[in-house]
Amino acid sequence: MSDAKPVLELRNVDKSFGPIEVLNDISLKVGAGEVLCLLGDNGAGKSTLIKLMSGVHQPTRGDILMDGAPITFASPRDAQERGIATVHQFGGTYPLMSVGRNFFMGSEPTKGFGPFKVFDRKRANSIAVAEVQKMGITRITDGDRLVGGLSGGERQSLAIARAVYFGARVLILDEPTAALGVKQAAHVLRIVNQAKRRGLAVIFITHQVMHAMAVGDHFAVLIRGAVASDFRKGEKTREQIADLMAGGESMVELEANIDGYMETHGGHPPPPAH
């Protein structure tokens, strides 16, 4: 799209956990104002890949570059301080803490001075509630409410709202729409587009072709830890993308199998083939 240096780039990155090789020779880049959709089957290595970019893991081999310069994220905090905000696939909220404290975990707003700085509860709560409401979660009106009392989707929205609020350069979302209702998912897609227009680089993982096509500028498909396909918007059809996401198998055939099976077996889906 632009010739400017990509905000974040991976060059020939490998990642293994002991003897288990998870990622193999990954090269990817994402620029400002661009949405990179990471697609792939379960266990393909998508979450592991974004954990390299958010400082949770370090690559076994290869380089990570930010604004064209090689960089090492020593810790998640290190990546955050460079403006990379991540919503991980699991967790991200603390059930027995309030909405306000959850939202600002690790970057608490304070008032007062010197050693007497205190957590600014009022400000934290009002910002948290306002940001969560922007995600279409209008039921949350009280920042003192404990997150354990929220629904799964509400919690996920809280985690996304938090990342959107703190992400200055890069926004990484690992299956953000997985737990969301139709309306909230639409809000998330809208927010992704807004972030993109603000000039953020966005990395978006999803298993839903529709969601990927709605926001993606650039698509990368992982199959068993390697980039199997890397293409731009409009270069492939919906069906081709769906097939790639299924790990290279033809979705039409898979779906036909299910339909045929279910017709002859009283509506039961087939057992997994392995």
Partner 1 sequence: MTDTTTNNRTEIRPAGPDASAGFSLKSFFRSPAAGAFMGFVAVFVLFSIFGYSRNFLSVPGMTTWMNFASIIGMIAIPVGFLMIAGELDISTGAVVPASTMTVAIVSQHYEMPVMVGIAAALAIGALIGFVNGFIVTRTRVPSFIVTLATLFAVAGLTLYLSIFFINNTNSFYNAPDWAKSLFGGKVWGFNSSVFWWLGMIAGFIFFLHYSPKGSWVFALGGDQESARNAGIPVNGLKIWLFVLCSTSAAFAGVLQVITFSSATSQANFGLIFNTIISVVVGGVLLTGGFGTVMGIVFGVLTLSIVTQAIGFTNIDRNLSFLIIGVMLLIAVLMNDTFRQLATSWSTAKKK
End-to-end CA distance of the chain: 42
Least CB distance from residue 40 to Mg ion, whole Å? 9
Distance (Å, whole) CA 146 – CA 258: 42
Q: Pick from 24, 47, 60, 193: which binds ligand ATP (CB under 6 A)?
A: 47
Ranges within 25-54 binding partner 1 (CB under 8 A): 54
Q: Which is nearer to partner 1, 106 or 272 (CB)?
A: 106
Q: Which is nearer to ligand ATP, 25 or 67 (CB)?
A: 25
Residue 89 lies near Mg ion (rule: CB under 5 A):
yes
Copy the structure tokens of residue 102: 């959850």
Binder of residue 17, out of Mg ion, partner 1, ligand ATP, none (CB less than 5 to 8 A by kind): ligand ATP
Residue 125 lies near partner 1 (rule: CB under 8 A):
yes
Nearest to 74 by CA among 92, 91, 57: 57
Residues of the shown chain interacting with ligand ATP in the complex, contacts defined by CB under 6 A: 17, 20, 22, 40, 42-48, 89
User: Could you list the residues that contact partner 1 (CB under 8 A)?
Assistant: 54, 56, 75-77, 80-81, 86, 88, 91-97, 101, 104-110, 117-119, 122, 125, 129, 138-139, 141-146, 148-149, 181-183
